[in-house]
Structure 1
Amino acid sequence: MSYIHLMVVLIWALNPMAAAQSGLELTQTGGSVRNRKQRDISCRENLEYPHDNICCLNCPAGKYVKEYCTGALEKGTCEDCDIDTYTEHDNGLPQCLKCTKCRSDQVTTKTCTITQDTECQCKPGYFCAPDQACEVCKKCSRCKYNEVRVKNCTTTSNMVCETRLPTSSTISGKTPGPVVVIVVAVLGITAALASVYWMRRKLFKRTDTQNNPSGTLKVVVDDQNNRSIEERQNKQNAVLDDTQLYPLLEQTQAENVLIKLVSLNGDESLKKCFELFEELDVHYHNRFFRHIGLSDNAIKSSAHLHPEDRVYELLKVWLEKVGMDADMNDLIKALLYFGQRLSAENIISKAIENGYYEYAENEK
């Protein structure tokens, strides 16, 4: 091969290498930077974003990129987020994010702004564990009668209950002796005889009233000598709530004859009926519980609960306060006192259907 042919071959081989080298130099010297591929662009995280093979500076929180930059290390046109949209951090987003809408079982704790999304939490009486997907809020549990509350229900945790400590007789494991059985039987018979005597006495009184036209039904509205200062104050508050209480009472006296209910399972029947009072009109809650003797402080302490749970908890407080004198008939009378006749009839019907109570013998 001649010298001339050798030179031609070398020039032909070196041309592609020269073109590649010139392209590299062009890139390094700020020439046609746009010829680089997108994967070759490495922008600084949280400071820049890639666009058209260059790095643009981020827009601040609360804004989005309306127009991209035209040169490296420049900031494009940033625009404020519209209503109900936001961006929490510096960004290169072409549009803002939509604000979260709280569900019907939640309440809004923080409203959405252009730099912060909406914050929601479960309504009072409901919860959602933070380590679980909160697709729906769950209703808080309630402690059973053989349990005590250890921890209240919050928006992120359920109520915690523990079983009450057993009595000494349960711990010893001993069964009641013959003497105890006899005593219990005697007490039961005595209670039954007293109940029969009371019902017969009531029947005789009613017969006398019917035979005597001059006899009238008397209801003590407020005996100042038999009420504590706190109860008298609660009564005054109830009158302030509704000036029509006394006319309602007169109407109840004139039109209503109470049906006497007899428990089929002692206190357990009364406790099981508490859930039936959930249908009590919420507008009568405060007045109803004042009427049965609860203090304003006790009533206000349950104001944060769901209406159904509130009725249930306040009836438990009433039971603890009244003790042995607690009577289902007193609750029914209180409903009629406020003209809640339909609720009273529904509760009586359900109490009998569920086998908690029956009509007194002389009322059947």
Structure 2
Amino acid sequence: MRHDSTTRRWTLHIIISLFLVLISQPYATVDAAAVGKCAENEYENSQGDCCDKCHPGYRLKKECPAQGKRSVCEKCKSGTYLNTSNYNPTCWTCKKCDSRDKIMFTVSNCTITKNSECKCKEGYYMKMLDEWTPQCRKCKTCGDGQLTVGNCTGDNYDHCICKDKHYKVKNNLCKPCDECIGCEDLCEPRFTTEPTLQKTISNNKVSQIVFPICACIIAVMVGVFLLYEAVRIWRKRKRASSNHSSSRDDKAKSEDEPMMEEASSVTEIKDVSISNQLYETELRIELPDCVPREIKIAEFFYFVLDEIPVGRFKELVRRLGVSEPDIERAENDHRACKDAQYQMLKVWSDRCGGGGNNILSCHLIQMFIDTLRDMYLSSCADSVETKFLSQDRPISQ
């Protein structure tokens, strides 16, 4: 019965895995169909064979007669071009730049691989009358109450829109909304919306990416689950076999239990005596107090005033929590630079509770050193630490 249950479980796992693989197949089919059977530099002719494309500047004169045969291509005539690899039977007509009125000029002439490039002079924009004929038109000037969007250069064109809180009266005139009577709908704010087609395309791209990834994740999870089940079953069988073999050794172990209990009791007594000795030894060792025990505020302040660069001092006291009014008050009350800086440090120590009996506590000095390291003044921090927190420093009297 146990064998039949295990077989059914494994069969169910295999069916789930196959189902997940079948779900991911439609995406692979779509991708294969999109690629096609011909290479990028080939095309499929009317007979279903893959023919080579013509090079840029050449048109297709005759298709290849069979697979592996070359197509017959012909060079484009003067005044025509083809700028990509192709199998077009005709070349495209070159664009003509009209320079008679000196408003349009030619940037580059047409070749068999590139169309001619035309440009309008400043103050004009380009408009294509048809596929081959460009025309230069004068840029539009925006009127009162309007803003210009874009630049009138190249193929771009000036667009005039109403300013905020203005509404359109004519093509080149916008008036303030506070003068509007019965035209409140024209003063509504402008909203920029994304085209529906672009949203649809982006959603399709997301679905094509997300669904295969989800299918792969589910397949990996199923694989991990199957591996877990296999390991669990193997451990269960191993545990059953080990229990069977260990039951035979229980009798022999029970005979040795009294001797093991006596040995363990002796070991426990020894461990207790050793731990008591270590505890007494630790009690006899005098733990060092915070060094130095007493540090005079004046001694500390005058030392750090000589160590810290003058240009970084205000940054230091700001990081220590001294406010801007206190900094300005210290500078106004004391003309000498060192006296003002001393007063700023005094404000810091008083606020942090370090001003009692003119003694500075160790934790305030450590805060001072940590602040110096945060400011990348490591040499100053090391000097202060060596001077006031070193174990070798003599205790102040």
Query: Above 0.5 in TM-score?
Result: no
Greater gyration radius: 2
TM score, norm. by length of structure 1: 0.26
TM score, norm. by length of structure 2: 0.25
Which structure exhibits the higher relative contact order, with contacts defined as CA atoms closer than 8 Å and separated by 6 or more residues? 1
